[in-house]
Amino acid sequence: MRFAVEFQHQMAALGTKHLGRILLVVGLLVPTTAHADDFWKRKPASEWTVEEALKVLQDSPWARKQAVAAPRPRPDSDFSVDSGLNNCDPDAVDASGRCLEWRVNLPTDTSRRTEITQRNYTSTVILVRWESATPVSQAFTRLAEVGARVSATFQAPPPRLPADRYVVTMKAIETPSQGADPLAGEGEGSQEPRAWLRTAGGKVAPLEWERSGVGASSAIHLFFPRTQNGSLLLGSQRQTVEFSYQGEHFVLKCKFTLDPASLL
């Protein structure tokens, strides 16, 4: 308390002019501190640490983490999913009339709904990464340079980066001890998973997809066209792109704000 009073007296003695200068300096320092974490703006990739390279791959403008809840049915459960079209979410019907997301039927006993929901759903964090961005490619290169190949492999780099494709990777990074990886089995038996990019020019489906890795390093890589109807998909201006994925039992959506100058 005594320190606070003495501090106030000292500040008053400085006068309004000096106090204004102090506040100006503080104001200039705050934005610098707030953006200090965007090291990729001020530091060449050749100087990135392992932690910084991993941050680009896990938590940056080109990497988004999305928590999804996938059901884990049990034989003795009151939980059920009605796959009839009458119970389909109207916004989740594709062009062929196929339902992509059904509503969940919970027991009429409201006292058990929380129990059923918690017991039959597992929450998983899925990493969605825009591979076709220069910093992402630089991060994988940097990890190789510093001998962190194991870390790079766990991050599931794409098997290839075609010049005429944008590549988006999906990888489960946090999975509960109970329940399987929600990406396991996705897309099997079909030509491509149910994924889309929504841009200023409309909705675009991937032209192809691939799986890579095994176990914790497994991932799905989706290849979207760079051009559509003779024009660049993203154009030449900074814009927001929405990625969406309709899984067997979950829906994932995330947005990327992309600057064409940073794209490979």
Contact 198, 239 (CB under 8 A): no
pLDDT digits (tens, 9 = 90+) for 204-236: 999 999 999 888 888 999 999 999 888 888 888
Each domain of the chain, given as residue ranges in start order, spans 1-36, 39-262
Measure the CA–CA gap between 194 and 247, rounded to whole angstroms.
7
Residue with tokens 């204004």: 20
Distance from chain centroid for Cα 1: 48
List the pLDDT tens digit at each of the 264 positions of the chain. 443 444 344 444 444 444 334 333 333 333 333 344 789 999 999 999 999 999 999 999 999 998 887 665 444 444 444 444 455 555 555 555 555 554 444 444 545 444 444 445 567 889 999 999 999 999 999 999 999 989 999 999 999 999 999 999 999 887 765 555 667 766 555 555 689 999 988 899 999 999 998 888 889 999 999 998 888 888 888 889 999 998 877 889 999 999 888 887
Q: What is the pTM of this model?
A: 0.68
* pLDDT per position as a tens digit, 197-206: 999 888 999 9
Cα–Cα distance for residue pair 104/89, rounded to 1 Å? 10
